[in-house]
Every structure is written in structure tokens, then in C-alpha cells.
Amino acid sequence: MSLQIEVTPQAIAKLAELGTEKQADYVRVSAEQACGCGRIGYRMFWENELTSEDEQINAAGLTLVVNAASRPYVEGGTLDYKIDPMQEGFILTNPHAQSGCSCGSH
């Protein structure tokens, strides 16, 4: 079964823009525990290497890659691009990942 991620029109537009200035062959989407309470943090970064466990998703001319450890936290999620007065960037939301943090470290 292939990995399913919804990519919003705003994210597609920004990915297309990034594609004109590619810094590597792939864009890795990674999920990892952000703190001791189990909250998940997401990162995106340029990547030149693939592993045998990576899954690929094509979006706006770029290839997004997700490894097996990140897949449960990315599967069924939505990749969006938001601009507001406090921040600008890609946001990955997933209904299966824990939201919020009660440990007080954020």
C-alpha cells in the first residue's frame, strides 16, 4: 500500500517554487518525538540519498521521501503551507498523531 498524504494547493505552489532552486534530489519529510510526553515534531529538509525503506511521493515536480519510522506519523496527514504574522512555513498535520503537550516543556 502506498503512502497517502494530502498536499494542499498552497503547499503545491510553494513546492513548485522550491523546485526551481533545488538544493538536492529529494525533500525528506521526517517525524520524530519532540519531547518526553510523546508529542511528534515534523521536519522537512533537502536530501540526496535514499534508503531501501524510503517511500516516495511526487508533488509539484519534487520527490518527497518518508522513511519507515516516520510513516505512521505521516500517513493520512495533510501537508500545507501557511503564512501568518508570526511564522511562515510548511505544516504537517495528522489526525493519528498526538496533539498538544502537557509536559510543560513547550
Domain tally, the chain: 1
pTM: 0.79
Give φ, ψ of 12 to 5 degrees: -60, -40
Identify the domain containing residue 43 by its residue range: 6-93
- Does 56 fall in a domain? yes
The set of residues, in sequence order, having a beta carbon less than 8 Å from that of 101 and lying 6+ positions away, is: 34, 35, 37, 39
Say which CATH number the domain at 59 has: 2.60.300.12
Query: Residue 31: pLDDT band by 50, 70, 90 thresholds?
Result: confident
- Does 69 fall in a domain? yes
For the stretch 52-85, pLDDT in tens is 999 999 988 899 999 999 998 899 999 999 998 8
